């Protein structure tokens, strides 16, 4: 099995796991503080992964130019912005619409990567992306009484606009990370991906951490008081990002995001086997559609 597929599936698993852990922080930290812990506590592991891999392979630190630093900073900022937009979508009354539109991330990523990176996908891969997005949309709206026509009519609602914006930011983040990897000197794509992870997380810590210290000083202190749970969230976040960044380096960004949609299957599995919630028929149908989309993407690669 190609390495990028393994990295994509692992990234989806870590992301699902991190989200579940992050729920435990909702009563202790604000939105911005919960975001900061992902980066602050992820930096040590990111640095350790890059340093350990470099030492094991006998590499030295490559020359990192301003272009790479700028791309990492832009990617980090867009990821922060996307997270905040998604949370804003949750705050509106029709949060289901906002969530559903954010799931168009894979499609938006494919379009942006085609324009900016010149990535070309086969017709079968494009079909797989469309099918996968349809399955994720179905799972997002199942049981909420929202029809496809209502979804289309609601495209101008604030929740939908925030959701679309969040999906765009997340998709664009992957494209910028790939561009940073291509711009960095060196032949080992994994080593470069780990270096980019360490730099991006450090910049995100400064950006969102500085904002938190300025606007919410009490929450800035709370970030350190909650270190037991926050450290777990940061660790899972760093592991997930390491897998995402490595997959982006090895394969087209759009295909990585498409395969990464299996995250919703991990969510359903967590609900069924850990929380002992009974699976609904709509969940099974949606899961099969998502799997079909991923299979088409893999066949079209």
Q: Give the DSSP letter of residue 300.
A: T
Query: Which has the closest alpha carbon to 14: 250, 192, 258, 262?
Result: 262
Residues in the chain: 301
| pLDDT number for residue 107 | 84
Collapse the DSSP code of 119 into the 3-class scheme (helix H, G, I; strand E, B; otherwise coil) and give the result. Answer: coil
**Distance (Å) of CA 268 to CA 8, 88, 201, 297:** 18, 24, 29, 21
pLDDT tens for the chain, 301 residues long, are 688 999 999 998 998 888 777 767 777 888 788 889 989 999 999 999 999 999 999 998 898 999 999 999 999 999 999 887 877 776 665 555 666 677 778 888 888 888 888 888 888 888 888 888 887 777 766 655 556 666 666 566 777 788 888 889 988 999 999 999 999 999 999 999 999 999 999 999 999 999 999 999 999 999 999 898 899 999 999 999 999 999 999 998 988 888 888 877 787 777 677 656 676 776 677 777 777 877 788 777 6
| Number of CB atoms found within 10 A of residue 152's CB | 9
**Residues 192 and 249: beta-carbon distance below 8 Å:** yes
**Residues 38 and 202: beta-carbon distance below 8 Å:** no
**Distance (Å) of CA 102 to CA 139, 222, 237, 248, 254:** 13, 30, 20, 20, 15
pTM of the model: 0.87
DSSP string, 25-63: GTTTS-HHHHHHHHHHTTHHHHHHHHHHHHHHHT--PPP
Integer Cα distance of 231 and 239 in angstroms: 12
| pLDDT number for residue 291 | 77
């Amino acid at each position: 099995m190609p390495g990028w597929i393994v990295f994509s599936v692992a990234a989806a698993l870590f992301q699902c796991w991190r989200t579940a852990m992050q729920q435990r922080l909702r009563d202790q930290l604000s939105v911005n503080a919960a975001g900061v812990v992902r980066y602050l506590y992820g930096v040590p592991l990111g640095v350790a992964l890059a340093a350990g891999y470099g030492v094991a392979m006998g590499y030295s630190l490559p020359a990192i130019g301003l272009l790479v630093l700028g791309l990492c900073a832009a990617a980090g900022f867009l990821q922060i912005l996307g997270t905040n937009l998604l949370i804003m979508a949750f705050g509106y009354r029709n949060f289901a619409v906002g969530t559903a539109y954010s799931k168009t991330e894979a499609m938006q990523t494919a379009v942006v990567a085609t324009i900016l990176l010149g990535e070309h996908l086969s017709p079968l891969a494009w079909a797989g992306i469309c099918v996968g997005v349809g399955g994720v949309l179905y799972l997002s709206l199942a049981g909420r009484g929202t029809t496809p026509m209502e979804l289309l009519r609601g495209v101008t609602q604030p929740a939908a606009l925030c959701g679309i914006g969040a999906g765009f930011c997340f998709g664009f983040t992957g494209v910028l990370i790939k561009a940073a990897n291509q711009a960095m000197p060196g032949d080992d794509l994994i080593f470069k991906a780990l270096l980019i992870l360490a730099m991006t997380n450090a910049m995100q810590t400064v950006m969102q951490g500085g904002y938190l210290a300025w606007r919410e000083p009490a929450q800035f202190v709370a970030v350190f008081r909650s270190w037991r749970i926050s450290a777990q969230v940061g660790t899972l976040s760093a592991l997930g990002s390491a897998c995402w960044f490595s997959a982006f380096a090895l394969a087209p960004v759009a295909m990585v995001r498409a395969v990464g949609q299996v995250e919703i299957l991990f969510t359903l599995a967590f609900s069924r086997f850990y929380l002992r919630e009974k699976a609904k028929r709509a969940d099974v149908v949606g899961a099969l559609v998502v799997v079909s989309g991923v299979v088409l993407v893999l066949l079209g690669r």
